[in-house]
Amino acid sequence: MGVKKHGPTRIAIIGAGVIAREHLLAFRDLENILIVGISAPTSARSHRLAEEFDIKIICNDVKTLWEKTRADAVVVAVPILNTHEVCEDIFVHDWISLVEKPIGYNLAEAEALALMASANSHRSFIALNRRHFGSTLHLKNLLTANTSNRIIRVNDQEDQAQGVAAGHPTSVIKNWHFANSIHLIDYFLQFGRGKISRITREIKHQEEWLSHVSAEIEFSSGDKGYYEAVWNSPARWSVQVELDSLIAELKPLEQARITRKGSQTEELPIDSLDKNFKPGFKRQAELFINQVRGDSTQNKLPTLSDSLETMRLIDMIYGSPEISQRTINI
pLDDT tens digits for range 32-68: 999 999 999 888 999 999 999 999 999 999 999 999 9
* 40-44, 146-150, 275-279: least confident range: 40-44
Residues 31 and 118 in one domain: yes
Report how many domains make up the chain. 2
Please give the pLDDT value at position 89. Answer: 96
Please give the pLDDT value at position 145. Answer: 87
Residues 99 and 200 in one domain: no
Last-in-domain residue among 127, 158, 189: 127
DSSP-derived 3-state class of residue 81 = helix
- The pLDDT of 170-194, averaged and rounded, is 92
Rounded to whole angstroms, how far apart are CA atoms 210 and 206? 6
Residue 304 lies in a domain: no
Residue 245 lies in a domain: yes
Residues 34 and 79 in one domain: yes
- The pLDDT of 232-257, averaged and rounded, is 93
Instruction: Answer for the pair 211, 205: CB distance below 8 angstroms, yes or no.
Output: yes
Last-in-domain residue among 127, 142, 169: 127
Instruction: Please give the model's pTM, rounded to 2 decimal places.
Output: 0.94
* 142-146, 269-273, 288-292, 320-324: least confident range: 320-324
Residues 111 and 164 in one domain: no
Instruction: Answer for the pair 55, 36: CB distance below 8 angstroms, yes or no.
Output: yes
Rounded to whole angstroms, how far apart are CA atoms 318 and 107? 11
For residue 321, name the pLDDT band (cuts at 50, 70, 90).
Answer: confident
**Ramachandran area for residue 138 (φ above 0: left; ψ -120 to 50: alpha; else beta):** alpha
Residue 316 lies in a domain: yes
Residues 171 and 208 in one domain: yes
Domain boundaries, position 238:
132-271+310-329
Last-in-domain residue among 73, 101, 127: 127
Residues 85 and 176 in one domain: no
Residues 136 and 123 in one domain: no
Rounded to whole angstroms, how far apart are CA atoms 292 and 229? 37
Is 2 a residue whose pLDDT tops 60?
no
For residue 22, name the pLDDT band (cuts at 50, 70, 90).
Answer: very high
Residue 280 lies in a domain: no
Is 289 a residue whose pLDDT tops 70?
yes
Please give the pLDDT value at position 181. Answer: 92
Domain CATH code at residue 217: 3.30.360.10
Select from 93, 92, 23 the least CA-distant residue to 55: 23
Residues 316 and 173 in one domain: yes
Rounded to whole angstroms, how far apart are CA atoms 250 and 256? 5
